[in-house]
Chains A and B, each alone.
Chain A
Amino acid sequence: MILAWLLIIPLLGGLLAWPADRITPMLPRAISLATLLLELGLILPLVHGSGAAILSAPSPITSGRWLATFDASWIPTLGISIRLDLDGLSWLLIVLTTIIGLFAVIVSWREIDHSTGFFHANLLWSLAGSIGVFLALDLFLFFFFWEVMLVPMYFIIAIWGHEHRRRAAIKFFLFTQGSGLLMLLSILALAFLHQRQTGVLTFDYVTLLASQPTGRLGTLIMLGFFIAFLVKLPSFPVHIWLPDTHTEAPTAGSVILASILLKTAGYGLMRFAVPLFTAAAHHIAPIAMALGTISIFYGAILAYGQSDLKKLVAYSSISHMGFVLIGIYSFNALAWQGAVILMIAHGVSTGALFITVGSIQHRLHTRDLTRMGGLWTDLPRLSSFGTFFVVASMGLPGLGNFVGEFLILRGVYAVSPTIAILAAIGLIPAALYSLIAIQRAFHGEANAKRGTHDFGTRETAMMLALGAAVIWLGIDPQPVLKIAAPSIAVLLPITHAAAIPATRRGT
């Protein structure tokens, strides 16, 4: 039942926050904050006590691996149920979602000053959608949450965004919705295929795992999932919604997009696209690896060319997610661990970067790098935090992103040294765009006295917390690795077993 509460609390919180701004604009903010703190209080204890014991003993996917489960009938005639399960991987991503959500509320404290009620409602619903995505183990339910997560985000961009917000919001909606429809088709096809095989219509993930469609049909069904997640990740060449969306979204929107929504794609690949179609996934691995490698370079080179700081960070995300993509399609446990760490570290460091860009925009009313320069003179605190997170996202060893990148490279190298070395070379343009960003934003001569205020207590505390998280991930990633290990152990062996044709597993 606790899993249901994890969803009900933010949904209810949103409902409460919506009308609350009639009383005072402050109230929705307080409600959001309280909701997310409550959520955090619920989710955090789940890995302790009995959870710790479950994590230390890996077991088959069907049983005791779950930290918590919830199963209720929804539409029995169609075999759709509300099945929620929490394992280590989901736990990590939900904790990330909740914490980043908290930061999104805090950055919106001053930035969002009209219709705060509706804004915070959308924010909480979008978070609830992502938490649902990380929990749902019924494919129909998963699709439902996938949509729940996107629609509020559309509103956040379209209502509270910057100059070209409408265009960006529509682009975002078309791309994610279009690819979502593909995924729906695939979900239906998979369920009907399973019905034809066994006579039972069900959308239950664990049951459908046994289906393992192969051949051309299997590949086609798998592609629906693959493309949807590729769009969301995003990967070259379906990345083009991301830079516009990021640029136009308000800071909280960018933070949630980069730190959480992109991670649902990595999660989806690991949970669904690979285990449900192991043979087809192996089949498509070379293409996925190639796309990942192209993304690494394409994102980095384009990031270098941007003069809009927010766009620069957005393109850098494409580059980082390229690492996640090659890591996942190497089907190597180390690389998967790396992908998990990189997703979390990227969530934290890029979230922090978007907060920094948002703060700069709030103060200078521009994101244009040509109008920045010399910020260190006026805003030393903002600039030093900005530099820290740029250096972190560049993959400086000792910080979180490096652990992820290294584990991915180590895992990929065992499978394909060529891809690993190409990806490693991609770290050179990463340094190029990172350093040019520091130069153009923070260094150089302050061309005019800007007379603006540096980070205050609220922003400094936020940055310190995020910085501590990046350092902690960098020097002691073992707890995270340990929590993710059982999930990966279960998701990956199925891959190998089913790669051999005609391997069928009972449930």
Chain B
Amino acid sequence: MNHLLWLVPASPLMGATILGLCGTMLPARAAAIIGTASVGIAAFIAILIGLHWYAAAPPSHILIQHLWTWLTLPGLTVDISLYLDPVALLMMLVITIIGTLIHLFSTAYMAGEAGYSRYFAYLNLFVAAMLLLILASDLLVLFVGWEGVGVCSYLLVGFWFQDAANGYAARKSFIVTRIADIAMLAGILLLAVKLGTLSIQPMLARATELWPHGGAWPTLAAGLLLIGGLGKSAQFPFQTWLPDAMAGPTPVSALIHAATMVTAGVYLVVRLHVLYLLAPDVLLAISIGAGITILLAALAALVQSDIKRVLAYSTISQIGYMFLALGVGAWSAGMFHFLTHAVFKALLFLSAGAIAMRLDHEQDIFKMGGLRTSLPLAFWSFLIGAASLAAVPIISAGSFSKEMILGAVWFAPGIGPGLWAAGLLGALITATYSFRVVFLVFFGPAHTPVTGRSGAPIAVPLVLLAAGSLLIGWLETPSFLGGDRLVMTLLHPVLGSPAPRSALAILVEAAGYIVPLLGIAIAYTLYRNGHWQRVAAAEPGALRRLLRTGFGFDALYEALLVRPFMALVRALRHDPVDHVVTLISAATLQLHHTLRRSQIGQIRRYAAWLMAGSIATIALLVFA
């Protein structure tokens, strides 16, 4: 079964190729089948490989499949090989399974849209690129997938291209991430020149061999790559693109801008964690940046009125938790949160999509309300997702993973308790804003009439993801709930085992369980009938306005980057160099006209000039 690994990225790629080349000739139903089946096949193979792995892991827990040599030159050899280790296996399973469910959901969600087959072509291409990113054995090939998912994200955010605002959001997402990617490219160049290879495992081995702990080169390389990761994962200070990226179709937001692509930064750091261990300063920067991101995004989520923007900010904040874990070296905890987050955030977005479908694409939570009875499936799935996001103890997956991160952060030397407090405060706000949405959308009086009905392609993904959001946390339980360590055991060969917990952790754990409940209580008190919130939203104060714009980063970047660039463009638009040359030719012409005017054939004019010249000459001779 393992030799079929190549089919995992190849199958969606083939789907994208078929749909891209002859999608317009196919009936919508065929496009839907090809699009979904190609990812379904990838998921099927991934599951088989996973089961095989569970039964008998390959030697040293690594599976390599060499495909072809991309380029080989003196000083640089890049192989296109697939490298599957436990971390990649986990990512691969999440991407293909959730990807299949979201494709299935899309078949109904996008029904009747113009460009139906184009949508599935892009989405398939995205899955292929994401899988290449995950499975690449070489950093440059990873970069191919990295940019590939970026372009697919651009194409899908701007899918409804008639609206210029969507185009703007799409460009913004691509440009912001590309700025970060240039730093990543610089890091790749640095590693290629200093270590002589970009093949990840030999490169990491050489880094540990050549570079001292905390040296300048590993710090620089890790820092540059981190910037790329922060850009892709929409972390501070690159977070601004993600809320706007919600302009894309909702299933796209679920797959790309929540479950998979935006976690690529986390994956990058985990994949290269050996390098990051050599750069403690960078790790410190990661955890501080993560603390800032968690709080900024959570506060911004608290005041959004568009349901998708709430979820977008929550994604930024939740990925912040993953980075928080990475910053303190709790790699497995970060990956575990990635897993639970992928499931519950996909569920939340799909529920939001299911609601929007029935409300004529209304996304303003203040125009919803009372949907608990009219949309029971959406209600229950959103509630389960929100519980997981809020980390309601025991019953939700999110609680297990968030608990694990907070526990690890507490024990981090130095600023551990400070970061833990930030994480805990973040958890409080998270619970509040999650249930703010629940209360505003599903309780209180109804505001918009519900139309249409949802079929199986909507229901099946929601039910499965809801089940996942309830149960997947039990893969990895704290000691008082049985102490299962399935994820840890899987990841252990790559990431090592986390430090054992000490006695004080009980208090820390308790705080982690109580705070989400407190947040929900606050939400209940404030938003139960949504009245106070509605008044405040209608006349926002200065603080609310600041929070709503995500702390004004857009305006800041507008002033610092966009306006200077546009001024430069305006100044240069007509090619000043060309002007200089045009001036020379104009001057020559002018001279020509002036001189020609002197040649007009009048004898007395010539005589006058002759006279003037003679006088001037004599004057010169006399006086000089």
Contact = CB atoms under 8 A, between A and B. Distances in A.
User: Do these two chains interact?
Assistant: yes
Contacts of A439: 164, 167, 171
B75 A334 contact: yes
Given A334-B76, A427-B178, A431-B178, A442 B193 contact: no
Contacts of B158: 443
B160 to A, nearest CB: 10
Q: How large is the interface on A (under 10, 10 to 19, 20 to 34, 35 or more residues)?
A: 35 or more
Contacts of A421: 186, 189
Interface stretch (A35-43, A107-115, A373-381): A373-381
B71 A403 contact: yes
B321 interface: no
Interface string A280-303: 000000000000000000100110
A305 B182 CA distance: 22
A497 interface: no
Contacts of B170: 435
A427 B183 CA distance: 11
Interface in A402-435: 402-403, 406-407, 409-410, 413-414, 417, 420-421, 424-425, 427-429, 431-432, 435
Given A302-B575, A334-B75, A414-B193, A435 B154 contact: yes
Contacts of A231: none
Nearest to A338: B73
Nearest to A374: B162
**Which of B70, B164, B189, B573 has the most chain A CB within a 10 Å cutoff?**
B189
A436 B73 contact: no
B71 A477 contact: yes
Contact of A302 (B147, B162, B171, B573): B573
B581 A442 contact: no
B373 interface: no
B143 interface: yes
A248 to B, nearest CB: 14
Interface stretch (A191-199, A236-244, A252-260): A236-244
Contacts of B543: none
Interface residues of B, number: 50
A397 B171 contact: no
B174 A435 contact: yes
A398 interface: yes
Contacts of A442: 161
Contact of B164 (A305, A414, A445): A445
B572 interface: yes
A386 B288 CA distance: 43
A304 interface: yes
Contacts of A333: 73-75
Given A240-B577, A420-B189, A431-B178, A477 B70 contact: yes
**Which of A304, A407, A481 has the most chain B CB within a 10 Å cutoff?**
A304
Contact of A305 (B146, B171, B573): B573
Interface in A460-504: 475-478, 481, 485
Given A398-B148, A477-B70, A481-B71, A431 B174 contact: yes
A64 interface: no
Nearest to B129: A398
A407 B198 CA distance: 13
B70 A397 contact: no
B209 interface: no
Contact of B175 (A374, A428, A445): A428
**Which of B70, B73, B175, B182 has the most chain A CB within a 10 Å cutoff?**
B73
A207 interface: no
Contacts of A305: 569-570, 572-573
A391 interface: yes
B140 A406 contact: yes
Contact of B186 (A239, A374, A407, A424): A424
Task: Please give me the 3 A-B residue pairs with the lowest Cβ-Cβ distance, nearest first.
Answer: A305-B573, A443-B161, A397-B144
28 contacts: A298-B572, A301-B568, A305-B569, A305-B572, A305-B573, A376-B161, A396-B148, A397-B144, A397-B147, A406-B140, A413-B190, A413-B192, A417-B193, A420-B186, A421-B189, A425-B182, A432-B565, A435-B170, A435-B174, A439-B164, A439-B171, A442-B161, A443-B164, A445-B162, A445-B163, A476-B70, A481-B72, A481-B73
Interface of B: 20, 24, 68-76, 80, 118, 140, 143-144, 146-148, 151, 154, 158, 161-164, 167, 170-171, 174-175, 178-179, 182, 185-186, 189-190, 192-193, 565, 568-570, 572-573, 575, 577-578, 581
Given A236-B577, A397-B140, A425-B182, 13 more contacts: A240-B577, A334-B76, A374-B162, A381-B24, A397-B146, A421-B186, A424-B185, A435-B175, A436-B171, A446-B162, A478-B70, A481-B72, A485-B73
